[in-house]
Amino acid sequence: MTLSVALMGTDLIGQARTGTGKTLAFGIPVLQRTVAPHDPDHAELVAPDKPQALVVAPTRELALQVSNDLSVAATDRGTRVLTVYGGVGYDHQLDTLASGVDVVVGTPGRLIDLMNRRALDLSHIKVLVLDEADEMLDLGFLPDVERLIARTPETRQTMLFSATMPGAIVSLARTHMRHPMNIRAESSDAQQTVPATAQFIYQVHDLDKPELISRILQAENSGLTIVFTRTKRAAQRLADDLTERGFNASPLHGDMQQVAREKALRRFRDGQLKVLVATDVAARGIDVADVTHVINYSCPEDEKTYVHRIGRTGRAGASGVAVTFVDWADVTRWKVINKALDLPFDDLAETYSTSEHFYHDMGIAPGTKGRLVPEQPAAPRAESSRAGSRSGGGSGGGSGGGSGDRPRGERRGRSRTRGGTSVDAASASSPASSASSDASEATAAGGESTTGTRNRRRRRRSSSPSATSAD
């Protein structure tokens, strides 16, 4: 629907459900309007090696995907495509810009940096594309996008694509676009989610979620699976838990190095990785074939996030399964999402990892457990045992004698006695002490004593001075 309009050079706003092929909708017109180095008109350009088209994407993963798609489509024409994003060094990007490029695909932050370095010249841009514009609005990139637009010529063609159109994006379009044509891929009353995606909503306990996910991964039709979490720590913790259970899982979040993020996504695309536990950094535009399941580990923040999350499956006419876990605290939030999207999930079924309806819905064989490998026994901790023995000896009524981790029966070496004398001096006087003690015992046994027993005077506490003087 957009190709005939875009090839004429008209500004347009494209709105369609995620997974319906918006990338090629603007990719083909961009490549068609760009003059490649092998074209006869390339030498007649004012600046032959300057960028002629700019595609702005909200995330690094989406920028890489769009760049790869454009590179494949431009193989025969020889159009030079450069991907610009943060998290990697500047050297390769600077060298490529200096040697000449035709199409630049990048994120707003790194594009601004290169523009400030005067390495990126946007004064010869013919086509400007804003992909997933509503996500750039949510991430706070709108001021950077406006700065980039201000550096491009006013005679450019502007194309804006997204799944949703908030008010701020409509205002941006009215400000920087010339009589844009609004193209929507479905009727206004059509649902925003893909019909080929089967949706299941369960009210679950937070501690039971790993068990539920482990059983879904063993379902009959389970293939590549993306699990979305709300926080980066939750993504890392869940990925580690699934790996310990025997599943081939990897995290994908903003705290990871860019090289690690690209490696995880590449392994997932190649099928070497079955489970990708990601934050919303992967919820926009990541097109991976054969994703059978999308699991919302936590309830999405709003209906837009829900649409983009479950849009990672059921792409290009394929079928998929979307499972959402709702905590008791998020029931109200889900009801708002359910009403906004007009979904039939008002009453949520309380579900556990042993529920029969859960096994039936997901196609899980009865008796399936939540582990592929047996649980490893916890290794003994030496420091904890030592600390425990010390505390036990101190509070155990003298059972351990405060000996710490020494074997029972072994005496602790002392340098001084309780009286403060040296151990050597005490041992030298021990024969005399033992002799006197023997004599005392003999005297006590015979009932006779040469020296009378001194009567001990008992000290009394008096209540008044008169009592003391009377004594």
Instruction: Among 6-15, 311-320, 379-388, name the one with the lowest average pLDDT.
Output: 379-388
Q: Which residue has the higher pLDDT, 446 or 322?
A: 322
The reported pLDDT for the residue numbered 368 is: 92
The reported pLDDT for the residue numbered 203 is: 96
Inter-CA distances, 76 with 3, 17, 31, 51, 240, Å: 20, 30, 11, 19, 44
Residues 223 and 100 placed together within one structural domain of the fold: no
Q: Confirm whether 419 is domain-assigned.
A: no
Give the Cα separation of 150 and 140 in Å (integer): 17
Residues 172 and 205 placed together within one structural domain of the fold: no
Q: Check residue 15 and report its DSSP letter.
A: E
367-388: pLDDT as tens digits: 899 998 888 776 666 555 555 5
Residues 345 and 201 placed together within one structural domain of the fold: yes
CATH of the domain at 212: 3.40.50.300
Q: Confirm whether 308 is domain-assigned.
A: yes
> Residue 243, exposed/middle/buried by CB under 10 A (0-12, 13-18, 19+)?
middle
Residues 115 and 263 placed together within one structural domain of the fold: no
Q: What is the mean pLDDT of residues 297-316?
A: 85
Give the Cα separation of 62 and 271 in Å (integer): 19
Residues 125 and 218 placed together within one structural domain of the fold: no
What's the N-to-C CA distance of the chain in angstroms? 120
Q: What is the mean pLDDT of residues 207-216?
A: 95
Residues 170 and 206 placed together within one structural domain of the fold: no
Q: What is the mean pLDDT of residues 328-349?
A: 92
Residues ≥6 apart with Cβ < 8 Å to 52: 33, 34, 35, 102, 103, 124, 125, 126, 127
Residues 218 and 347 placed together within one structural domain of the fold: yes
| Residue 43 pLDDT level (bands cut at 50, 70, 90) | confident
| Residue 133 pLDDT level (bands cut at 50, 70, 90) | confident
Where is the domain boundary, 141, 163, 184?
184
Q: How many structural domains is the chain composed of?
A: 2
| Residue 87 pLDDT level (bands cut at 50, 70, 90) | confident
Domain carrying residue 350: 197-362
224-250: pLDDT as tens digits: 999 999 999 999 999 999 999 999 999
Does residue 109 have a pLDDT over 50? yes
Does residue 338 have a pLDDT over 50? yes
| Selection from 293, 246, 248, 253 nearest residue 272 by Cα | 248
Q: Confirm whether 106 is domain-assigned.
A: yes
Q: Confirm whether 393 is domain-assigned.
A: no
Does residue 199 have a pLDDT over 70? yes
Where is the domain boundary, 321, 346, 362?
362
Where is the domain boundary, 362, 394, 411?
362
The reported pLDDT for the residue numbered 59 is: 86
Element holding 84 (H helix, E strand): strand 81-84
Phi/psi at 406 (5° precision): -75, 150
Judged by DSSP in three states, 87 sits in: coil
The reported pLDDT for the residue numbered 2 is: 77
Residues 106 and 145 placed together within one structural domain of the fold: yes
Residues 53 and 177 placed together within one structural domain of the fold: yes
Q: Confirm whether 441 is domain-assigned.
A: no
Report the mean per-residue pLDDT for the chain.
81
Judged by DSSP in three states, 225 sits in: strand
Residues 100 and 60 placed together within one structural domain of the fold: yes
Question: Per DSSP, which regions of 145-213 are E strands?
Answer: 157-162, 181-184, 197-203
Residues ≥6 apart with Cβ < 8 Å to 412: 403, 406
Q: Give residue 373's identity as a one-letter amino acid code.
A: V
Residues 214 and 357 placed together within one structural domain of the fold: yes
